[in-house]
């Protein structure tokens, strides 16, 4: 997966609580196992009405079409455990979601796909939401190594993250990537086992 180091980008405001995974990516888009093309269904029912006409959703406005940061309300990503939700966000270009709280499974799926979820107190969210309301005129910097968010006016908001999750994001490592870093050790083990217990190897 793509490493996450420092991101300076437009932040889009989504001041809604309890945004569930069905709202992020509706069930009709779950038929694929591909991680591309899902941006078309991202927040579909918020973006379009029953006739497929645009609703003037924030991510479709010109000022936010290049947004890579989403500032949202509490309990973001609740509902079912579908991994398509972070896939759709990533396919749209969202690399960081900032909210007061996240559903645990959604948060873990974000980490595994290179999206940085940041939980902050509501007071900090309010400040960042205000920055995000300014659109393309106000860019926000998220510095994972320093564990801080820098606003367009010079304000700095620190954030916490598990050291192992930080390591994985900085180095672009999912579970497979972590395993493959031990490929030489695995090869040595398998070679020794083939010699000592050949009946295990057809």
Q: Mean pLDDT by 10-residue block, N- to C-terminus, for the chain (202 residues)? A: 95 97 92 84 93 92 94 95 93 97 96 97 96 90 98 93 95 74 75 82 80
Contact predicate 97/40, CB 8 Å: no
Task: Name the burial class of residue 43, with classes exposed (0-12), middle (13-18) and buried (19+) by CB atoms within 10 angstroms of its CB.
Answer: buried
pLDDT score for 192? 80
pLDDT score for 121? 97
* 3-state SS class at 120: coil
pLDDT score for 177? 66
CA of 192: how far to CAs of 64, 180, 184, 188, in Å? 56, 19, 12, 6
Q: Does domain 6-171 have CATH number 3.20.19.10?
A: yes
pLDDT score for 184? 76
In the chain, where are the structural domains located?
6-171
pLDDT score for 137? 82
pLDDT score for 180? 65
- Ordered strands of the 6-14 beta sheet: 116-119, 96-99, 69-72, 6-14, 139-143, 148-150, 156-158
Tens-place pLDDT, residues 107-155: 999 999 999 999 999 999 999 999 999 988 889 999 999 999 999 988 9
Contact predicate 92/86, CB 8 Å: no
Contact predicate 106/78, CB 8 Å: yes
H/E element, 33: none
Rounded to 5 degrees, what are φ and ψ at 72?
-130, 180
**Rounded distance between C-alpha atoms, residue 89 and residue 97, angstroms:** 9
Q: H helices within the chain, ranges in order?
A: 21-24, 44-47, 84-92, 104-112, 122-132, 163-171, 175-180, 183-196
pLDDT score for 176? 65
Strand-pair partners of 12 = 70
Contact predicate 105/85, CB 8 Å: no
């Amino acid at each position: 997966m793509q490493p996450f180091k420092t991101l300076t980008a437009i932040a889009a405001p989504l001041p809604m609580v309890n945004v569930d995974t069905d709202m992020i990516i509706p069930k009709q888009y779950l038929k694929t196992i591909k991680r591309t093309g899902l941006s078309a269904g991202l927040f579909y029912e918020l973006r379009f009405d029953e006739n497929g006409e645009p609703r003037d959703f924030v991510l479709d406005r010109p000022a936010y079409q290049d947004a890579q940061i989403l500032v949202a309300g509490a309990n973001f990503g609740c509902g079912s455990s579908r991994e398509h939700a972070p896939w759709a966000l990533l396919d749209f270009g969202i690399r960081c979601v900032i909210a007061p709280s996240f559903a645990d499974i959604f948060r873990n799926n974000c980490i595994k796909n290179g999206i940085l979820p940041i939980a902050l107190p509501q007071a900090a969210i309010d400040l960042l939401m205000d920055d995000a309301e300014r659109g393309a005129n106000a860019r926000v910097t998220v510095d994972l190594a320093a564990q801080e968010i820098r606003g367009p006016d010079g304000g700095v908001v620190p954030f916490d993250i598990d050291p192992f999750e930080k390591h994985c994001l900085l180095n672009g490592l999912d579970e497979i990537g972590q395993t493959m870093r031990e490929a030489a050790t695995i090869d040595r083990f398998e070679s020794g086992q083939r010699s000592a217990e050949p009946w295990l190897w057809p």
